[in-house]
Amino acid sequence: MIRPRAGDFTYTDSEFAAMKASIALFKAEQGTAAAASGFVFGILNSDGATVDISRNRELVELAAPLPCTFHRAFDQVRDMRAAAEELVACGFAAILTSGVPVGGAIAGAEVVRRLEGDVGGRIALILGGGVREGNVGELRRVTGVRWFHSAAVTADVGEDVDGAEVERLRARLDEEV
């Protein structure tokens, strides 16, 4: 993920320069163990509710030929359908979203279902935000998306990835196919 800091998704010129430098650095590592297979980032305009098309397009072009995913900054945009169309035009391969600014994938499932119908054939939607073994089957049925993102963190392991949860998620998705 190319993100110079936590917080909002608007970046200063120096932060944007750091993002470009990070992409260039990872691309220079092609053929090594440190090589990137793609990039995840997202930049919004100063209003915090619309996509900064120019800067995102510049990063997508810099990252080429590696695929880019627009991260959950998408959940902050005012008009998701219009933003999704802009991201298609920018050349993004995917959008990571819960469909809502607060509440996670369960709360945003209907929004994501509509987006999948609108743009799903042109850009992959990756559903994230509270995706777990216990809800991934229903989320797949409701939204129609094929891709999911989960931190796979459970109370059993604290803030670390729970390997058993990853295995359960995979098994549940395999059952649903």
pLDDT at position 17, please?
99
What pLDDT was estimated at residue 35? 83
Split the chain (177 residues) into runs of 10 and give each run's mean pLDDT: 96 98 93 89 98 99 98 97 98 98 96 96 96 94 96 80 92 83
Architecture of domain 1-97: Alpha-Beta Barrel (3.20)
The conformational region for residue 176 under phi > 0 = left, psi -120 to 50 = alpha, else beta, is alpha
Q: For the chain, what are the domain ranges?
A: 1-97, 102-177
Q: What is the pLDDT of residue 177?
A: 60
Neighbours of 138 (CB within 10 A): 12
pLDDT recorded at residue 155 = 74
The pLDDT value given to residue 159:
80
Question: How far apart, in whole angstroms, are the C-alpha atoms of residue 149 and residue 126?
Answer: 6
**Mean pLDDT of all residues in the chain?**
94
The predicted structure's pLDDT at residue 154: 78
Q: What is the pTM of this model?
A: 0.93
127 Cβ contact partners less than 8 Å away, ≥ 6 residues apart: 97, 98, 99, 105, 109, 112, 139, 143, 145, 147, 148, 149
Q: 22: part of which helix (H) or strand (E)?
A: helix 13-28
Under a CB-based contact definition with an 8 Å cutoff, are residues 40 and 63 in contact? no
